[in-house]
Structure 1
Amino acid sequence: MKPKPFAMWIVICLCLLLNWKSETEAKNIFELQTDNFTCTSEDVNSRILKEFRCGISKSAKRRTWHMEFMLKEPIGEHEFFMKIVLPRRSPLTEFVLINMTTDGCHLLANRNQVPLMRLGRSVMERFSNFPKQCPFKPDVLYYIRGFRLDLNLLPAVDMETPVHISLSYQSKQHGLRWISGYLVARVQRISDKKRPK
């Protein structure tokens, strides 16, 4: 007796559903832990920046990072640089996940971006008051506060690894990087105590 097409489709759908469920469960056992976040600026004469600070929270269990800045003048056209590296013992074998420079105004508006950058911009909206279009205005305290990356939003992660992230904003008008940041983090398995039931 041959199986009916409808029954075959039910079996295929169940297999796909079970496979999807196991993949999503696998993602839930990892989290991104921030170890350090430092920032610098090439604006040593304070032509652009009025205030600038960054760091990580004091809580060792649920560390988050923050960055705040206030500008003296509006910043319109600018470039945003990001590099994400999964370091290895030898620098020659480091895995570079992203190494790109993009139009900062397009990034703020979340258009014409690679999918991972669009996703990152969407996530950032929950933690920052960055504008959705250029320019960055003067005398406004812009911030990213309490940032934690939910790995469930990303493609499946199935390994523990260190992660180094470099980022910077460069003014086209002044030709200097007015903000640079360097984040040291790690993807690690969530302990059984912290794992959602």
Structure 2
Amino acid sequence: MSLWIKWICLFPIFKFVITEERNFRVIFDNISLSNVDPEVFERFDCELYQIDNRSYVDTSHIFRETVTDLKVHAALDFWKAKSPKMTIYDIEFDGCHFLQNVHKNRLFNIYAKNLKKYSNISFKCPFQANVLYAVKNMTMNEDDFPSFLPLGKFRSLLEYSVNQKLSARAYINGKIISYSTRPF
């Protein structure tokens, strides 16, 4: 019986931890595309905009031919104030496998979840030629992250290779800032 009493006493604490409001905001400052191969992409666009202290991203991709071999190089660097750069990850993986599986890395799960939530069509291999793959109004929901993230700046690199040839590169610069969710 005492076990049940302990669980009942701990329930309000668990509820507070799960529903705790986030005191930070994830902001994208800049997204730049380069090395976009016109033989692979008919269209590869990205637009970043800010509304009410929140970043939103629209992207659109149209492949010229069906793509079955997509490799991704992803890197994330982070700087806390007055601290040296930390590399959070720097990996290469099969993009098709990534889109079809659950990931152990929480950051990858957040990205995959948002990609599915804000896209017009299922991003899965093979990618069809002459089909618009679009993401509209994608934002980072702070509730998806742990309740505490250190404040600082980040840079993400995404390189996409099709048939073992670099086809596009994206740099994303941003920051994690303090944000009060309570009115004064």
Note if 1:33 corresponds to 2:27: yes
Q: Mean Cα displacement is larger for which, 153-162 or 7-16?
A: 7-16
Contact 1:36–1:55 at 8 Å: present in 2 too?
Answer: no
Q: 2:9 aligns with which of 14, 20, 31?
A: 14
Q: 1:54 aligns with which of 19, 37, 46?
A: 46
Note if 1:129 corresponds to 2:120: yes
Residue 49 of structure 1, CA deviation: 1.2
Render the CA deviation track for 1:138-167: whole Å, top value 9, x for unaligned. 111212221211121123324222121111
Please name the residue that 1:64 is paired with: 56
Letter paired with 1:64: Y
Residue 104 of structure 1, CA deviation: 0.9
TM-score normalized by structure 1?
0.78
1:63–1:115 CA distance, 2 compared to 1 (3 A): closer
Q: Counterpart of 2:140 in 1: which secondary structure?
A: coil
Residue 186 of structure 1, CA deviation: 1.2
Contact 2:58–2:135 at 8 Å: present in 1 too?
Answer: yes
Note if 1:81 corresponds to 2:73: yes
1:8–1:110 CA distance, 2 compared to 1 (3 A): closer
Answer with 1 or 2: which has the greater Rg: 1
1:30-179 alignment runs, 5 A limit: 30-43=24-37, 46-57=38-49, 59=51, 61-88=53-80, 93-111=84-102, 113-116=103-106, 117-129=108-120, 131-171=122-162, 173=163, 175-179=164-168
Q: Counterpart of 1:183 in 2: which secondary structure?
A: strand
Residue 34 of structure 1, CA deviation: 1.4
| Structure-1 separation of matches of 2:109 and 2:26 | 19
| Structure-1 separation of matches of 2:153 and 2:118 | 23
Residue 102 of structure 1, CA deviation: 1.1
Instruction: List alignment gaps of at least 5 residues for structure 1.
Output: 1-5
Instruction: List alignment gaps of at least 5 residues for structure 2.
Output: none
Please name the residue that 1:3 is paired with: none
Report the number of matched residues: 183
Letter paired with 2:96: C
TM-score normalized by structure 2?
0.83
Contact 2:36–2:44 at 8 Å: present in 1 too?
Answer: no
* Percent of residue pairs identical: 18
The CA RMSD over aligned residues, in Å, is: 2.7
* Runs (4+) off by over 4 Å: 88-91
